Amino acid sequence: MEMQAKTFNDHVDEYIRKGTDMRRKLDIERAAKIRSSGGAMFKVCKAEQCNLQEGGNTGSFKCCGKCKLAFYCSLGCQRAHWRDHKIICGSADQTEQTLPSQQTLEMHILNPLLESTDENVKQYCNAMKVGLNSRVAASLGCGLNISGESGAISS
Ligand SMILES: [Zn+2]
Ligand SMILES: [Zn+2]
């Protein structure tokens, strides 16, 4: 996956170099670049009403120390969101944050195709979904331990 992500991101850079897209370089990167785990490279803060996205001068976000799948711009946001997050933190249906384009692909193409009666189509879609929902991120040491088993904030 590491190589695939690099190849994909190289294509994004090439696209940016062409100069046909008027958006800022960072905006295109935020919309398109992926991590080696397959999810979004620039995470959006999970806290309610924050919506801050990594990149530019935000520095890199820290992830929940327990599940390593929820990202926050600050300790304040992590604390504010813990009440909601602790319900799903570490559960099997928690997935890595993906790009809006990946979410669209999953919702409008992969999920409907899973209804197919063709076994090959189904298998292919399932494999794609596993890729999108990769939990490999959890094994990447991506931040500080900001929540312990009890939910207490540790520094
Ligand atoms: Zn935030
Ligand atoms: Zn968590």
| pLDDT, greater one: 111 or 132 | 111
Q: Residue 87: what residue type?
A: I
Q: Which-ligand-closest: CA of 79?
A: 1
CA–centroid distance, 78 to ligand 1, in Å, is: 7
Q: What is the pTM of this model?
A: 0.74
* pLDDT computed for residue 136 by the predictor: 41
User: Which pLDDT value is given to residue 85?
Assistant: 95
How far does residue 11's CA lie from ligand 1's centre (Å)?
A: 30
- The whole-number pLDDT of residue 20 equals 94
Residues 52-103 have pLDDT tens digits of: 999 999 988 999 999 999 999 999 999 999 999 999 999 987 888 988 888 8
Kindly give the residue spans of alpha helices, DSSP state H, lying in 2-97: 2-18, 25-32, 75-88
Tell the burial category of 49 from Cβ atoms under 10 Å away from its Cβ (0-12, 13-18, 19+).
Answer: exposed
Q: What residues are neighbours of ligand 1 (ion), with CB under 5 Å?
A: 45, 47, 50, 52, 73, 77
In this predicted structure, what is the pLDDT of residue 130? 67
Distance 80 CA to ligand 1 centre (A): 9
69 vs 3, higher pLDDT: 69
- Please tell me the distance between residue 135's alpha carbon and the centre of ligand 1 in angstroms: 22
